[in-house]
Amino acid sequence: MIGLTTYLEQTKYGVWDVRAGLLPQQYFDGVTGSGGVAVLLPPQPRVDAAAAAVLDGLDGLILTGGLDIDPERYGAERHPETNPPREDRDEWEFALLRGAEERGMPVFGICRGLQVINVAHGGTLHQHLPDALGTERYRIGRAQFATNTAVVDAGTRLAGIVGAGEIEVHSYHHQGVDGLGEGLIPTARTDDELVYAFEAPGKQYLVAVQWHPEQNSEDRRLFAALVAAASVYADSRGSRQNTHSGQEVGA
């Protein structure tokens, strides 16, 4: 059971023009095509209680792409190119991440998801990469994904999934990692030294990439790795529940 965070946006379909939770199909295709069950997680009120209840039924969490994080969360003034704040989604995803890490649940961050994890760990972001790096190559606009090359470090969990060395990826973002968050290890960079992936050391599965792997339907390796880690977590969770249940019966 893999939870995927979603947008909550004004949406037109058929005769309707309403606020709706939505996510491009490619994301949950990545999960279901890798043997998982996709559960969509729109922003909700009473975030801490809701996040706890949701996570109790999940085996893995994917923080998906979307609009910019409120820069107040990392102590920065808003750049003119930064999206207006979406406090509902920020609060929801930060609560889900906290709960998942407390449980040792596998987490996979994609684009905005990587940025959420970085900020939650005390990191900061470049709010507009054309200012910081002098290039527009990471977001060419017009709903077209750019192609960029990242170099994956050998000996990392990421390298064990996609291989070490160069990998061509799909990009659509104008922000990126500035200061790396505490306890995170960079695992891939672009040729202008932008951190393009990171992971957490230790037993918990926490992998994040700045690119959009859901756009490559022929390469499900990152989704498959998350589903595999979630299966291990589900087995361990079942073992803990069975032990607890047995203790209650014995009492």
SS (H, E, C) 140-151: CCCCCCEEEEEE
Q: What is the DSSP string of 190-219?
A: -TT--EEEEE--SSS-EEEESS-GGG-TT-
Our answer to whether residue 214 is catalytic in this structure is yes
Q: Given 126, 173, 174, 212, which residue is catalytic? A: 212
Burial of 199-212, coded b for 16+ CB within 10 Å and e otherwise, reads: bbeeebbbbbbbbb
Q: Indicate the SS3 state at residue 164.
A: coil
Q: Given 91, 93, 199, 214, which residue is catalytic? A: 214
Whole-angstrom Cα Rg for the chain: 18
The distance of Cα 15 from the centroid of its chain, to the nearest Å, equals 33
Crossing angle of helices 87-103 and 47-55, rounded to 10°: 40
Q: Given 111, 126, 173, 174, which residue is catalytic? A: 111
Our answer to whether residue 168 is catalytic in this structure is no
Nearest to 157, CA basis, from 211, 107, 198, 98:
198
| C-alpha span between 169 and 8 (Å, rounded) | 27
Active site residues: 111, 212, 214
